A and B are shown apart, each in its own frame.
Chain A
Amino acid sequence: AQKITQTQPGMFVQEKEAVTLDCTYDTSDQSYGLFWYKQPSSGEMIFLIYQGSYDEQNATEGRYSLNFQKARKSANLVISASQLGDSAMYFCAMSLRRGGKLIFGQGTTLQVKP
């Protein structure tokens, strides 16, 4: 069965420091995608970063990078130089080959302290 696990319900980070949000996944498919979404208190889902299962290099998007370790089935999100506006819920998700279906983890609430 496909599953996403986020083991950190809540995290604190000091402004301007880096933070890593953990995500592990389970699937028997060879082709899949891994995503991170940000959900601020306003409720919308904001796409942050994507990693394909065949991508050899870790994905980066500005201050966001995805630390993809395929053998360990982990896809951790690294946010560098945290900002107050980064305070939000973060979801790791996995897409399977067909259908655009996403499987989500339970989320990690990140609070950035000034």
Chain B
Amino acid sequence: NAGVTQTPKFQVLKTGQSMTLQCAQDMNHEYMSWYRQDPGMGLRLIHYSVGAGITDQGEVPNGYNVSRSTTEDFPLRLLSAAPSQTSVYFCASSEPGQPMEAFFGQGTRLTVV
């Protein structure tokens, strides 16, 4: 009963490095999304996907890429890390219909130095 699994849980990057945050869900959910949470703020949507092969931008997409080749996986790529991308990242999945509860991963705490 894994739900939504994010790896890694913690990461420190140097400015300019690239990396991929992994997100996998085992509930066969159609919808997946990535959020970032900065201190004193709520979660903000980075990118989302309504199914394999379909992605779209959220509120704060700059500096991030996503792809959805399978229903289960939705990786988030940082192309060239910047200190402004220091944040906690959450992946979520959900299924169309009512109620639309989103299942969240445990989060990845990323620090860019």
- A residues at B contact (CB < 8 Å): 4, 6, 33, 35, 43-45, 47, 50, 52, 91, 93, 95, 98-107
- B residues at A contact (CB < 8 Å): 29-33, 35, 40-45, 48, 50, 56, 58, 88, 90, 92-96, 98-104, 106-107, 109
A98, B95: Cα distance in complex, Å: 10
A48, B40: Cα distance in complex, Å: 21
Q: What DSSP secondary structure best describes chain B's contact surface?
A: strand
Q: Which of A6, A91, A102, A103 has the most CB of B within 10 A?
A: A102
- Assess whether A102 is in contact with B102, with CB atoms less than 8 Å apart: yes
- Assess whether B33 is in contact with A100, with CB atoms less than 8 Å apart: yes
- Assess whether B33 is in contact with A102, with CB atoms less than 8 Å apart: yes
**What residue of chain A has the Cβ atom nearest to residue B31's Cβ?**
A100
- Assess whether B56 is in contact with A99, with CB atoms less than 8 Å apart: yes
A44, B92: Cα distance in complex, Å: 12
